[in-house]
A = this chain, B = another copy of it.
Amino acid sequence: MEERLFTRITASAAIFLILICNVTSTATAQAVDVTRVISSPKFKAAQAFIDKDHDRFVQEIIQLTEIPAPPFKEQMRGRAYLEMLRQHGLTNVEMDAEGNVMGIRKGLGTGPLVAIAAHLDTVFPEGTNVKVKRMGTMLSAPGVGDDSRGLAVLLAMLRAMDNAKIQTASDILFVGDVGEEGPGDLRGMKYLFQTGPYKDKIKMFVSLDPAGPGNDITNGAVGSRRYRATFKGPGGHSYGAFGIVNPAFALGNAISKFAKITVPFTPRTTFNVGLIGGGTSVNSIPYEAWMEVDLRSESSDELKKLEDAFIRIMREAADDENSVRSTAQGRIEVETKLIGDRPSGAISITAPIVQTAAAVMKALGMTPVYSNSSTDANIPISMGIPAITLDSGGRGGRPHALDEWIDVEKTASAKGTSIALGILLSLAGMIP
């Protein structure tokens, strides 16, 4: 996932909102469909199969996690996943020009195209040890839950549907997408929805990301702005040129000021220095020092305030360095370059796609929670296409950290997969 689920309102509050909005008819209509799906013998057969299939599901999480997939280098995992989609009997299996891999599970052709996705990429750079450590039902490895588990759930759903001989009205597009994390800037989704062969064709979208019990519905897309700030100076010899401006000092000062910014807790607003670098050797004054920062807010006004403060601090840090050290060899210049821009937006909790998801969760004994987040769904949401992100079952923690973990305990895992399948079949119009 690009961002952790955080701001939640409970299902009861959501229902209250539905009532005061007088849009219960849609919600009810969806709920009926859902009951028909969940209570059907075919769905129960699929659920039973998910249980039996559990060991293979776990084995595939491990297999996918252990194929490195750094940002912009998802090809190896993509090719492996493409082959897995092919082996699961999909048609039109392909890798698009951006690197997304996908295939169609044909329906009767009487419903709108539904897409379901998990992302191939991780945040971890080349060379990261991606070997999965296992202890009982716990798996630990970089990317294991974000989003290898989601990829494996898609395969588990396909096997369950086939085993239970389930047909749908809609075609369903299964996607392993690229560029969800960080510098990828949702390039996989942008290509899928705005350029590739399925442009204008996908009418509903669900993504699975990351691990979680299966009761989270991300219907709000948190916007983000990302910058690379680079301080440049003349550089020189650490001893001979001592006293001239140093870009690393300017950067340090910039980070120190930036870290002191205060942001509101609500609307949730955050900032991060995620990457830093610069210099050529310990005994040279660097000619360049840089950082990459992530600015986010649920509120576009707060995001703009944060962004303005960030840019002002960068300029101040350059000015400070130019005023306290010698500029005889040259001045510190700072460049702030926008490297990421994710659109914000929201799907109403009264919208059919959200109501369907909530109804399936309730039918399977879960209490839905609603979130704002930055996920693959940001792109369709920003385009007005009904889209949500769901968690992929079980438990998990420490995403984006080297000690990321998930719990693949069977009951909670199977429940998560069943919920995702129930939602998908409800959206795609399962044939009784």
Residues of A with Cβ closer than 8 Å to B? 1-6, 71, 123-125, 128, 181-183, 222, 224, 226, 234-242, 246, 248-249, 251-256, 258-259, 268, 270-287, 289, 291-294, 296, 329, 339-340, 373-374, 398-402
Instruction: Give, as a whole number of angstroms, the nearest-CB distance from A218 to chain B.
Output: 12
Alpha-carbon distance A3/B293, docked complex (angstroms): 35
Q: Is the Cβ of A274 less than 8 Å from the Cβ of B279?
A: yes
Alpha-carbon distance A181/B291, docked complex (angstroms): 26
Inside 8 A of A286's CB, which chain B residues have their CB? 273-276
Q: Is the Cβ of A284 less than 8 Å from the Cβ of B274?
A: yes
Apart from A236-B398, A275-B281, what 11 extra A-B contacts exist at CB < 8 Å?
A5-B240, A181-B281, A237-B400, A238-B272, A238-B274, A238-B400, A251-B276, A252-B254, A252-B258, A273-B279, A282-B294
Q: Is the Cβ of A239 less than 8 Å from the Cβ of B296?
A: yes
Alpha-carbon distance A296/B241, docked complex (angstroms): 13
Alpha-carbon distance A400/B5, docked complex (angstroms): 47
Do A283 and B182 contact each other (CB < 8 Å), given the known contacts A277-B277, A401-B234?
A: yes
Alpha-carbon distance A284/B142, docked complex (angstroms): 12
Do A282 and B183 contact each other (CB < 8 Å), given the known contacts A251-B255, A273-B249?
A: yes
Inside 8 A of A123's CB, which chain B residues have their CB? 280-281, 283-284
Q: Is the Cβ of A400 less than 8 Å from the Cβ of B283?
A: yes
Inside 8 A of A277's CB, which chain B residues have their CB? 276-278
Instruction: Give, as a whole number of angstroms, the nearest-CB distance from A306 to chain B.
Output: 12
Q: Is the Cβ of A4 less than 8 Å from the Cβ of B241?
A: yes
Of the listed residues A128, A181, A240, A296, the one surrounded by the most CB atoms of chain B closer than 10 A to its CB is A240
Do A400 and B236 contact each other (CB < 8 Å), given the known contacts A123-B284, A251-B252, A280-B125?
A: yes
Inside 8 A of A278's CB, which chain B residues have their CB? 275-277
Inside 8 A of A242's CB, which chain B residues have their CB? 270-272
Set B182, B252, B285: member contacting A284, Cβ < 8 A = B182
Q: Is the Cβ of A252 less than 8 Å from the Cβ of B256?
A: yes
Set B259, B274, B289, B296: member contacting A281, Cβ < 8 A = B274
Q: Is the Cβ of A274 less than 8 Å from the Cβ of B285?
A: yes
Q: Is the Cβ of B292 less than 8 Å from the Cβ of A282?
A: yes
Q: Is the Cβ of B283 less than 8 Å from the Cβ of A181?
A: yes
Shortest Cβ distance from A227 into B: residue: B282
Inside 8 A of A226's CB, which chain B residues have their CB? 282-283
Q: What are 16 pairs between A and B in contact, CB < 8 Å?
A: A128-B280, A237-B400, A238-B270, A238-B294, A248-B276, A249-B255, A251-B255, A252-B253, A272-B283, A274-B281, A274-B286, A276-B278, A277-B277, A277-B278, A283-B400, A287-B401
Instruction: Give, as a whole number of angstroms, the nearest-CB distance from A76 to chain B.
Output: 18
Do A252 and B259 contact each other (CB < 8 Å), given the known contacts A237-B3, A238-B296?
A: yes
